[in-house]
Amino acid sequence: MSQAAQPATEDFLALKLDSSEILQSFENTNNWQERYRQIMLLGKTLPKLGEEFRIEQAQVRGCESNAWLYHSEIEGKHYYLADSDARIVKGLVALLLAACQGQSSEDIANFDIEGYFDQLGLTGQLSPSRTNGLFALAKAIKASA
Amino acid sequence: MDFTQLRAQFPTLEQTLEGYPLCYLDTAATSQKPKRVLDAMVQYYEKDNANVHRAAHQLSSRATSQYEAVRDTLSCFINAQRREEIIFTHGTTEAINMVAYGLSAQIKKGDLILIDTAAHHANIVPWQKLAQRTGAIIKPIPLTADCRLDETAYDALLQDKPAIVALSHVSNALGTLNPVCSLIARAKQAGAFTLVDGAQAIAHLAVDVRSIDCDFYVFSAHKMYGPTGIGVLYGRYDILDTLIPLMTGGEMIKTVSFEATEFNILPNRLEAGTPPIAEVIGLGEAIAFIDELPRAETCRRENELICYLQSQLELLGDITLYGAHKDNVGAVAFNLAGEHHQDVGILLDQQGIAVRCGHHCAMPLMQSLQLKGCCRASVGVYTSKDDIDRFITALTSVKEMLL
């Protein structure tokens, strides 16, 4: 992750995603169309990173679209900001952040990412062979905490 | 020709993905393989497995005969002058690397290398490395606004007497067709070595290297219903014979001592090490499969599918097509208005549609089109009108979700 400019601490703290609410909304979906609509809606809740932060050093490798990730440790908890120029990828990123935002190192280390995506009905999206960058992002999040 | 029977030869196509029947429109990345190709490879492993060119025993003799017979088949298939002009490689990429490396001693500082702007990275990077080694200069051959090779600019570039001209026969990203016969004739008049990347043409067009008259023509088996890991370098004998071998070792030598090594003659000189024998045999079977097709009919069918695909995409609306022409071969490139190609790809994938979304290993082309990437739907002999219709229906629902 970037050693260069970081978004402000309050920006990290401002991003609040409720993972139980998200899981609930996914449980109520009946088909992939509804699930991917939810993903896109969720993507919209992630604030757009300013151009100054959409830089190569923050880019997540292995993603066909551009995706950027920032991490900050505040009072022993981990906070993230991320963005992508593809809407569904951004939504998938938001799903991941929802589970990790404000968590402790231990929580993140114990977080079963695969199980989480299975629970969301998105098995397969978290494969290293996918070009959505999710696998690399998950690795980066695990490594940061 | 019974199309149902033809399609039934491809086992991979018979599957559903989360309730959706597979709609395979990614043949330009790799084609599916007819069962007879798989059978031929299994048969080799089960009955004839032995190393080639060391026929001290019957198995090796059988394996060698089969392996070398494919060289003859290929020689006929592309109308080479001599069987020794066919070199087995791992694929198009290795073949171009062999040429770019092999010509090192014949290229000097300041020499000009012209490359098709629409070229695949495999037809760009090996030349860049050659330029770095020798001090040669790379110049892209520009495209016109409709993504054709700009022939006026090309002729102007030829005035500078390039040492090498590297073209694509068919662009992998766009499916645009280059008039290679005329382009090569002009390049040769200017005194250049000429190479044509035929990876995207070989499954769709009848290729005659003598009529194209290029010095090198390269392609991969896996895009022509054959296995991965095997490809072909065709080279005109006198020029092929001047290439410095990229790979050295066993099989390619005549004598070896610690003082000096003498290389073998063509084709062995350029085939170091144990070759992918089963894959060569699989390639031979793929050619037999193609040869048994009514070629004129399948070419016409594929062209009709491409034109149908283009017109259905236009009808759908909010679609930008790139370099779409009636004579395109195998592929159609597009984007959905304002949407990221990856989002489109993810949603198509949910519906069992396999297309490629990305830069298609043609970043300079994407830069010239000012695109991050695009989606590409591509067809093969097994593609049906029904596949296109299902793809359009799926894309319609993607459009509804995204726009």
Domains B3-26+294-402 and B50-291 share a fold: no
Longest CA–CA span in chain B (Å) reads 72
CA count, 13 A, side-chain hemisphere, B221: 29
**Predicted confidence (pLDDT) per residue in B63-105, tens digit:** 999 999 999 999 999 999 999 999 999 999 999 999 999 999 9
pLDDT of residue A3: 53
The two structure tokens encoding residue A132: 């959505």
Helix (H) or strand (E) holding A67: strand A67-74
pLDDT value at A80 more than 90? yes
Q: Which of B342, B347, B397 is facing A65, going by the closest CB pair? A: B342
A89/B18 CB distance under 8 A: no
B357/A64 CB distance under 8 A: yes
Of the pLDDT bands very low, low, confident and very high (cuts 50, 70, 90), residue B130 is very high
Share of chain A above pLDDT 90, in %: 55
pLDDT value at A20 more than 90? no
CA distance B363 to chain A (A): 13
> Exactly one of A63, A81, A97, A141 is catalytic; which is it?
A63
For A58, the 3-state DSSP assignment is helix
Residue B91 DSSP label = S
pLDDT value at A104 more than 90? yes
**Predicted confidence (pLDDT) per residue in A130-144, tens digit:** 888 888 888 888 888
Q: What's the whole-number average pLDDT of chain A?
A: 89
- Read off the pLDDT of each residue in B346-366 and give the average, rounded to a whole number: 95
Could you give all domains of chain A from N- to C-terminal order, each with its CATH number? 9-144 (3.90.1010.10)
Query: What is the phi/psi pair of residue B378, to 5°?
Result: -135, 155
pLDDT value at B402 more than 50? yes
pLDDT value at A2 more than 50? no
- Read off the pLDDT of each residue in B297-316 and give the average, rounded to a whole number: 97
* Best mutation target, B342, B376, B393, B399, to test chain A (most A CBs within 10 A): B342
Which residue of chain B has the CA closest to A88? B343
- Read off the pLDDT of each residue in A41-61 and give the average, rounded to a whole number: 92
Interatomic CA distance for residues B310 and B357, integer angstroms: 17
- Beta strand B261-263 pairing with B319-322: unpaired
Q: Is A100 a catalytic residue?
A: no
B339/A32 CB distance under 8 A: no
Which residue of chain B has the CA closest to A34? B401
pLDDT value at A1 more than 60? no
Helix (H) or strand (E) holding B282: helix B277-292
Domain ranges for chain B: 3-26+294-402, 50-291
How far from the centroid of its chain's Cα atoms is residue B179's Cα?
16
Of the pLDDT bands very low, low, confident and very high (cuts 50, 70, 90), residue A103 is very high
pLDDT value at B229 more than 70? yes
**What fold is seen in the domain B3-26+294-402?**
Aspartate Aminotransferase, domain 1 (3.90.1150)
Longest CA–CA span in chain A (Å) reads 43
Interatomic CA distance for residues B250 and B282, integer angstroms: 23
Residue A129 DSSP label = T
Interatomic CA distance for residues A82 and A69, integer angstroms: 4
Sign of CA dihedral B216, B220, B221, B224: negative
pLDDT value at B26 more than 60? yes
**Is B127 within 8 Å of B193 (Cβ atoms)?**
no
Residue A65 DSSP label = S
Residue-by-residue DSSP string for B173-227: TT-PBP-HHHHHHHHHHTT-EEEEE-TTTTTTS---HHHHT-SEEEEEGGGTTS-
B302 Cβ neighbours under 8 A, 6+ residues apart: B204, B329, B330, B379, B380, B381, B383
**Which residues in chain B are contacts of A66 at CB distance < 8 A?**
372
Interatomic CA distance for residues A24 and B395, integer angstroms: 29
- Read off the pLDDT of each residue in B121-130 and give the average, rounded to a whole number: 98
- Read off the pLDDT of each residue in A10-37 and give the average, rounded to a whole number: 89
**Is B59 within 8 Å of B193 (Cβ atoms)?**
no
B263 Cβ neighbours under 8 A, 6+ residues apart: B245, B252, B253, B254, B269
Interatomic CA distance for residues B90 and B218, integer angstroms: 11
**Which CATH number fits the domain B50-291, given the four candidates 3.40.50.970, 3.40.640.10, 1.10.357.10, 3.40.366.10?**
3.40.640.10
Of the pLDDT bands very low, low, confident and very high (cuts 50, 70, 90), residue A4 is low
pLDDT of residue B1: 74
Interatomic CA distance for residues B383 and B392, integer angstroms: 14
- Read off the pLDDT of each residue in B206-228 and give the average, rounded to a whole number: 98
Which residue of chain B has the CA closest to A130? B346
B346/A37 CB distance under 8 A: no
B358/A64 CB distance under 8 A: yes
Residue B170 DSSP label = B
**Predicted confidence (pLDDT) per residue in B259-284, tens digit:** 999 999 999 999 999 999 999 999 99
pLDDT value at A88 more than 80? yes
